[in-house]
Structure 1
Amino acid sequence: MAFRGGRLKTDRIAGGTNTTGVDDEVFAMPSGMAIRYDRPAAALADYITGYHVYRTDTGIEAGQVDWFLPATANVRIAIDAGPIAVSIGRRTYDPLPVASLFGPTNQALKAVTHGGVMIGFGISALGWARLFRRSAGDFRNRIVPLEDVLGKAFTRDLVAGLQGAPDDAAVAPILDAMLLARLGPPHADAPQIRQLMEILATDGPTDIASAAAQLDIPTHALRRLSVRHFGFPPKMLLLRARFLRSFVRLMMAGGEADYTTIDRSYFDASHFLRDSATFLGMTPRRFMALTKPFLKASLRARNAVLGSPTQVLHDIAKAPARDAQSRDSSRTTQQRVISRDGSAIGC
């Protein structure tokens, strides 16, 4: 099954950002690939953690393999793309729907693609509370058709709008308009959700009692809040954030794994390795040796544009929102050819 059609084609994806002051080299990719990260509108900054666009012209026949880290919930839309298979743990989704909701995950994700464009946006816990009626826990480590949770009409309009985009610089304005119109009213839990998001984004204790004390709620209320809006019990959220803070440092440093940089709350390297088995299903060295061009590029590009390298570590207190100046700048950044495969990209 292939997902081909619409105006937005791979040769219209240049890569880059709507954000001023970000070096073009941040978005450099191997031949045949491009990556883009954009900030959402200021009114969405608490709810949407960022927009991304991936393009690849490689692996069309044999399939290209990429690995990704555990993440918060996100939506992904395949445009002008061949078949896509995604595995989370032992469960494989093949073929992936054109528009999918990826629930929050605590396991690494493996994707096999056959060329095309993938557009996505991350959803914070505050965003989940305003976009979805069901508990995030119902979707942990799962992928479902987007129409099952946001309805057929919205999904149809979303896909059609993105297919009709003239290029990747138009993606952010399209998503801004549709998501602003879709947001429900603020949730009664919003103050506590925000506090827990801030706790997860910073170094600190990983015990539930400390987190509950900071939120000034009982531990059972913290568990309910965590599962409903974040998808996992609080202990799992705290451990996932601690592990990814440490592991991302190793990945971004490059070279051999240096366990002296891991979080100080780890007793020793073996403690860190146990968490690696939980969240990656393998050792850090083995994961770092895997083929993952888009993960490596996204850590770099996301950090430059959105202020943190991964969705799990996204800090809404520090994340920059798009203002009028950066919106205007999208008219110039859309002309930049970021991929090193310039001949394969039309602007």
Structure 2
Amino acid sequence: MPDPDVATTSEYGVLGVRTESRSGAHSFTLDRYPPAAGLAELVERYWVVSWELPPGREASITLLPHPCVNVVLDRGRLTVSGVGSDRFTYAYRGAGGVFGIKFRPGGFLPFLGGPLSDITDAVLPAEQLWGPAATVLAERMTAATGLDRRVALVEAFLRERWPEPDPQVALVQRIVAALLHDRTIARVEDVTGMFDINPRTLQRLFQRYVGVSPKWVLRRYRLHEAAAVLARERHRPWAEVAAELGYFDQSHFIRDFTAAIGMTPGAYAQACRRMEAPVSA
């Protein structure tokens, strides 16, 4: 059984300087809330993005996705979002908000009933998985007043459909937690030795339960942290950040960072210093 108190996904992922716009005004907020103890084995957290902009103004946030499935309520529609391999930008205007359920890596497979790789980079209507009950849930969540009521509706819905325990989910989450927290892991080979698992078996396990490879997860978590550090400590040398995260080949770090973020580490840090939105989809 996985330890529900151990984080299995990053706290990072919003690119650029998140807490302030160029004018110094807050354009959006991101809040996270834990699930009930009985659901924490499969659900990492709930998240709420809310915003309020002056009439006629539009803004956007760019995100580097986690290796997680999210069930999202946006504009009255409930969707299932598989792991996104690329960054994406969400534009918003006026006043509004989005509510999400972030499942732990591997935690959504018992609900889907098939390989998570089948929905990687896909967004599905929740009705495709849960039928008319998903429409009813979306309507009730949209009409609900207050976060507590929304969470209660979600948790009652999930409890009614809670799957039988799957020991492979627990194994996947232990491996993912190690990829997130253990800085001695620099390569997938380190994982196979640590967990005494065949490389091919590890790859198949991740394709089925996570939807992406263990190498992808390791790289994504390190790049989440690199982007966060460069945005927060804007005058810190990027080469120093790379070395701290286990990138001893600077050209390798530059390639990975540029492919994921859309600009070099140096250009990203400069954009953050100028308080610019550094990337767009």
Asked if Structure 1 and Structure 2 have the same fold, meaning a TM-score greater than 0.5 normalized by the shorter chain, the answer is: yes
2:207 corresponds, among 216, 227, 230, to 227
Please give the alpha-carbon distance, in whole angstroms, between the structure 1 residues aligned to 2:99 and 2:43. Answer: 14
Sort the Cα spacing of 1:257 and 1:164 in 2 relative to 1 into closer, same or farther, 3 A. farther
Q: How many Å apart are 1:59 and its aligned residue?
A: 7.0
Sort the Cα spacing of 1:192 and 1:264 in 2 relative to 1 into closer, same or farther, 3 A. same
Q: How many Å apart are 1:41 and its aligned residue?
A: 0.5
Give 2:72's aligned residue: 76
8 Å contact from structure 2 (residues 180, 218) kept in 1: no
Q: How many Å apart are 1:256 and its aligned residue?
A: 5.8
8 Å contact from structure 1 (residues 129, 187) kept in 2: no
For residues 104-140 of structure 1, the C-alpha deviation after alignment (integer angstroms, 9 at most, x for no partner) is 1232111122342211121112421322112111222
Q: How many Å apart are 1:68 and its aligned residue?
A: 0.9
2:251 corresponds, among 254, 260, 270, to 270
TM-score if structure 1 supplies the norm length? 0.64
For residues 6-37 of structure 1, the C-alpha deviation after alignment (integer angstroms, 9 at most, x for no partner) is xxxxxxxxxxxxxxxxxxxx999945644432
Q: How many Å apart are 1:257 and its aligned residue?
A: 5.6
Unaligned 5+ runs, structure 1: 1-25, 81-97, 293-347
Q: How many Å apart are 1:183 and its aligned residue?
A: 2.1
Please give the alpha-carbon distance, in whole angstroms, between the structure 1 residues aligned to 2:121 and 2:265. Answer: 20
Sort the Cα spacing of 1:146 and 1:281 in 2 relative to 1 into closer, same or farther, 3 A. farther
Aligned partner of residue 127 in structure 1, secondary structure: coil
Please give the alpha-carbon distance, in whole angstroms, between the structure 1 residues aligned to 2:27 and 2:189. Answer: 49
**How well do the aligned residues superpose, as a CA RMSD in angstroms?**
2.7
Please give the alpha-carbon distance, in whole angstroms, between the structure 2 residues aligned to 1:272 and 1:109. Answer: 21
Give 2:171's aligned residue: 192
Sort the Cα spacing of 1:182 and 1:63 in 2 relative to 1 into closer, same or farther, 3 A. farther
Please give the alpha-carbon distance, in whole angstroms, between the structure 2 residues aligned to 1:191 and 1:215. Answer: 13
Give 1:161's aligned residue: 140
TM-score if structure 2 supplies the norm length? 0.77
2:120 corresponds, among 124, 127, 140, to 140
Give 2:160's aligned residue: 181
Aligned partner of residue 107 in structure 2, secondary structure: helix
Q: How many Å apart are 1:236 and its aligned residue?
A: 1.7
Sort the Cα spacing of 1:141 and 1:277 in 2 relative to 1 into closer, same or farther, 3 A. farther
Aligned partner of residue 119 in structure 1, secondary structure: strand
8 Å contact from structure 1 (residues 27, 35) kept in 2: no
Please give the alpha-carbon distance, in whole angstroms, between the structure 1 residues aligned to 2:132 and 2:255. Answer: 44
Please give the alpha-carbon distance, in whole angstroms, between the structure 2 residues aligned to 1:55 and 1:107. Answer: 23
Sort the Cα spacing of 1:59 and 1:214 in 2 relative to 1 into closer, same or farther, 3 A. farther
Give the aligned length. 249
Identity, % of aligned pairs? Answer: 21
Q: Which has the higher contact order (CA 8 A, sep 6+)?
A: 1
Sort the Cα spacing of 1:189 and 1:160 in 2 relative to 1 into closer, same or farther, 3 A. same
